[in-house]
Amino acid sequence: MGRRMMKEGINKKSCFHIEKGEAVDIETIIRLRAWVEDEVQSKHGKFSDTSLITDYDPKREIFEFQIHFYR
C-alpha cells in the first residue's frame, strides 16, 4: 500500500483491527471512514484512534484502502 495518513504518536503495536476496501476516489473513502469507524466500534468495542492507508491501482483505476484501529 502506498500513501499513509497517520496521526503522530500512534503505537503500531496496539493495532487490534484492520478494515480493507476499495473505492473509485479518495473522496468516497473519506466519506466512508466515519461509517466504517462506527461499524467497527459497534462490533469490536471502543478504540482510541485510527490511521488510513491508501494506494492507487492504475490498471484497475481504483483506490485500495486500509483503516487500522488502535486501542
- What are the boundaries of each domain within the chain? 3-70
pLDDT digits (tens, 9 = 90+) for 25-69: 999 999 999 999 999 999 999 999 999 999 999 999 999 999 999
DSSP 58: T
Where does the chain show beta strands of DSSP type E? 3-5, 15-23, 49-57, 62-70
CA distance 19 to 8: 20
Distance of CA 2 to the CA centre of its chain: 13
Single pTM value for the model? 0.80
Q: Please list the residues that pair with 69 across neighbouring strands.
A: 17, 50
